[in-house]
Amino acid sequence: MVAINKIMSKQLSIFLEHLSLDPAKVHYMKTPAELIEDTILKRQGVLADTGALCIDTGKFTGRSPKDRFIVRDAITDPAVDWGAVNKPFEQEKYEVLKKEILDYVRQREAYIHDGFVCADENYRLNVRVIAEYPWSALFANNMFLRLHKDEVENFAPEWTVVCAPGYLADPAKHGTRQANFAIINFTDRAILIGGTGYTGEIKKGIFSVLNFLLPHDEKILSMHCSANVGKQGDTAVFFGLSGTGKTTLSADPQRSLIGDDEHGWSEEGVFNFEGGCYAKCVDLTEEKEPDIFRAIRHGALLENIRFCPGTRTVDYANISVTENTRVSYPLYHIENMMPGSVAGNPRNVFFLTADAFGVLPPISKLTPEQAMYHFISGYTAKVAGTEAGVTEPQATFSACFGAPFLPLHPTQYASMLGDLMRRHKVNVWLVNTGWSGGPYGVGSRIKLSNTRAMITAALEGNLSHVRYKTHEVFNLAMPMSCPGISDQNILNPVQTWKDQEAYKEKAIVLAQAFHRNFFKYAAQASAEILSGGPDKFGEIDMSAGGSDDIPG
């Protein structure tokens, strides 16, 4: 272990040049075992029977998108897509808040964890996390790429995250919306997080930073996706919002997992941003998600779960605290990981959607124009029971399948995707993991075995030489045959409906929802991108569009 006074004497980032911490109160680079022990001694957590640490994140059991801000300055002002997602924060208010949160940290114990993001060393970014709680530092150890022993002593942080859940802002004084906040400052190269213990704010804060720096400065496409690679070196990327099967379908025993959530795509290939996974665990079972289930052992961090009565066995069906129960664990807890978390350029990209209207084909091949359009759209659907007040399917859209984390305009990411897929001759597929034979409540959900068979067929090139039919509303190329599925009729969704006129009516309703949603991007979208959308049918009421989803 490197002596703390030696570490503190190193040249720090711009943000920490003026920060003096009491070495007696600083815990630097504690091991996971030590952080777990400190959490238990502070009565902030307990162990499950698997050895995983279980904690509660407090009032906030998820991110608070309305309380995430970006400081408006010379760097961000001309580049950021300001609006409901990227809310500006005044530099003067930030300086006041920074001083006070740092004063708060100085008066308490602080857990400092150094790591980095971006597995491709060409784009590596060194990150220092200063945490009030030991389990926040454990999360940082799990989620960021870990340093080798010889890298610790010479570590130079380029970005700093201050995480102080116990510090509450004064909205009238500090300019926040309420007491909690997550504020990104690109000049300071810092993220201030206060008033919330939800660890996802740390992860998604740095992800937002990368979503600005990589496309803007490095011309690297940053992606909210999972990725895996086959034994022949063929890389595949999976985009999809919550409930679409992104984690499940990328976890393939015949392929190595590169990562489950955040990646970059350079001219050389795909690389993971992270050193761990942050998975939802509601209704988790070993049968459904064996990799995740087996990864929950000593070193893993479980959030907001509850035990089966009288035991330390986690009851994954218990959502009495939140439906957003989570677990973080390091990549080395997964047996089938791709060494180095770097692979070549993708051959196939999959957009996953759980279409609850029963309209979209179970698999279709997209043109570059359609790929950019559907990437910007980021469509899926909510079904009855998923949220209060949702009684029938509702279209929901999240630009680039990750709108809450995109500082730049979505068309910039989509244009980069289009350029990359053309240069590398990538196949892009739209995969409906939702309903067939009718909407939710009438039809049935497409069998996972069929979806897996279609994805396997695409990966193995078995859909390259089959006949295709064009969807009459969305203009999607639907394969007319696919090996490995029991009923070939499901490939054309209209054939699964009893009333074909009812199907077309529902397809037109969904197409109009796409157009209403895309209206806000149209002014900055090229004619090429606009041509990738579905056909228009009559006048469209722009006031009744789908909503932007806020994925986890």
Catalytic residue among 67, 261, 291, 549: 261
Q: Is the dihedral of CA 465, 466, 471, 476 positive or negative?
A: negative
Alpha helices in 262-329 (DSSP H): 290-295
Contacts of 241 (CB under 8 A, 6+ apart): 353, 378, 380, 396, 398, 401, 549, 551
Give the containing element (helix H, strand E) for 162.
Answer: strand 159-164
Q: What is the CA radius of gyration of the chain?
A: 23
Catalytic residue among 13, 57, 76, 247: 247
* Token duo for residue 382: 């909510």
| Residue 242 annotated among the catalytic residues of the structure | yes
Helix (H, G, I), strand (E, B) or coil at 224: strand
Distances in whole angstroms, Cα of residue 297 to Cα of each of 51, 54, 313, 522: 5, 11, 12, 48
| Structure-derived torsion over alpha carbons of residues 288, 489, 226, 219, reported in degrees to the nearest 10 | -170
Query: Which residues make beta-bridge pairs with 356?
Result: none
Distance CA 117, CA 297 (A): 24
Q: What is the DSSP string of 29-85?
A: S--HHHHHHHHHHTTSEEE-TTS-EEE--TT-SS--GGGEEEE-STTTTTTS-BTTT
Catalytic residue among 57, 235, 242, 248: 242
| Residue 148 annotated among the catalytic residues of the structure | no
| Residue 106 annotated among the catalytic residues of the structure | no
Q: Is the dihedral of CA 241, 228, 324, 66 positive or negative?
A: negative
Distance CA 135, CA 125 (A): 23
| Residue 291 annotated among the catalytic residues of the structure | no
| Residue 224 annotated among the catalytic residues of the structure | yes
Catalytic residue among 38, 39, 63, 256: 63
How many other C-beta atoms lie within 10 A of the C-beta of residue 223? Answer: 27
Counting beta carbons within 10 angstroms of the beta carbon of residue 487, is it exposed (0 to 12), middle (13 to 18) or buried (19 or more)? exposed
Catalytic residue among 113, 203, 280, 326: 326
Q: Which amino acid is present at 533?
A: G
| Residue 247 annotated among the catalytic residues of the structure | yes
Alpha helices in 156-245 (DSSP H): 171-174, 200-213
Catalytic residue among 203, 216, 224, 382: 224
Catalytic residue among 174, 203, 204, 347: 204
Q: Catalytic positions, please?
A: 63, 204, 224, 242, 246-247, 261, 326
